[in-house]
Amino acid sequence: MRSTRSLALAVLAAATIPAAFATTADAARYGTRTLEQGDSGSDVKKLQRYLTEAGYDTAADGEFGRGTARSVKSFEEDDDRRVNGIVSRSDARGIKAAAKEDPSSEGEEPEEDPAGESPGEEAPGDEAQLSEDGLAIAPADAPEEVKQVIAAGNKIAKKPYKYGGGHGRWRDSGYDCSGSMSYALHGAGLLKRPLDSGEFARWGDRGRGQWITIRANAGHSYMMVAGLRFDTSARKQGGSRWTDEMRSARGYKGRHPEGL
């Protein structure tokens, strides 16, 4: 009888230990453990929120799945880190720092509908240039639609990152990655409504365009316009969505507006 009771207690203890470990993991503070695909908990949710604030759209569900791993890899690649999708304590600090670099949007007036924006100053030839203040200068030889995309993009180039920004309305105090692209493309009359990153992965024609190339997957999107990159993740490099620094297109589908 005593032997049977001891066995039952041992079985109960064995079942309880993993549950205790799971509870500890779920309550782990952000940055106190290495995170990778398959993990879950409040620190994973915090990671996902920081990734989104840093410009890598990530669902904050507390589950480290393929979408979160994809966002982590994008951050690692942009930040010149080892690309493995695993969040070390150093990676966690870097992601948090990148998220905190976005300035507050308080007190800013929302932009008007960008359709029909005037191109303004132009650069000679067929390649866009960066101005000293981080805005894009449209190339003189580009089609009018490309010049208008650049003009609209300049209007929000330094706007704060805002998850969901630009999707409920064209006028907003901040924009996420797909909202930013939607705003710029709408400025040339190429979009009638904002698209999310997944929709951009299916929008337009396949492959690279002559003037505009969209790179999109379920977690992030950006575009190349006349040789410059328009990307929310570029803001940490100088406060503007425009940059002349390229990034790998691995993991992204290439699309382009018809004829461009």
Q: Nearest Cα to 220, choosing from 161, 137, 143? A: 161
Q: Does a structural domain hold residue 15?
A: no
Looking at the fold, whether 182 and 245 belong to one and the same domain comes out as yes
Q: Does a structural domain hold residue 142?
A: yes
Confidence of residue 36 (pLDDT cuts 50, 70, 90): very high
Provide DSSP, 176-241: -HHHHHHHHHHTTTS-SS---HHHHTTSSEES--SSEEEEE-SS-EEEEETTEEE-GGGGGGTSSS
Q: Does a structural domain hold residue 149?
A: yes
Count of domains in the chain?
2
Q: Tell me: the pLDDT tens digits for 243-259?
A: 999 999 999 999 999 99
Query: Which pLDDT belongs to residue 117?
Result: 60
CATH number at residue 251: 3.90.1720.10
Query: Which pLDDT belongs to residue 64?
Result: 94
Confidence of residue 104 (pLDDT cuts 50, 70, 90): very low
Q: Tell me: the pLDDT tens digits for 78-88?
A: 777 888 999 99
Given a cut of 60, whether residue 222 has pLDDT beyond it is: yes
Q: How many Å apart are CA 103 and CA 77, to the nearest integer?
A: 23
**Which sign does the torsion angle of CA 103, 104, 109, 113 carry?**
positive
Quote the distance between the C-alpha of residue 142 and its chain's center.
27
Q: Tell me: the pLDDT tens digits for 190-210?
A: 999 999 999 999 999 999 999
Token code pair at residue 89:
């304590």
Looking at the fold, whether 176 and 56 belong to one and the same domain comes out as no
Query: Which pLDDT belongs to residue 116?
Result: 59
User: Comparing 109-113, 142-146, 151-155, 201-205, which segment has the lowest mean pLDDT?
Assistant: 109-113
Which residue range(s) make up the domain with 70? Answer: 28-99
Token code pair at residue 197:
């990153």
Confidence of residue 153 (pLDDT cuts 50, 70, 90): very high
What is the model's pTM?
A: 0.63
Looking at the fold, whether 144 and 246 belong to one and the same domain comes out as yes
Residue 88 vs residue 108, higher pLDDT: 88
Q: What is the mean pLDDT of the chain?
A: 84
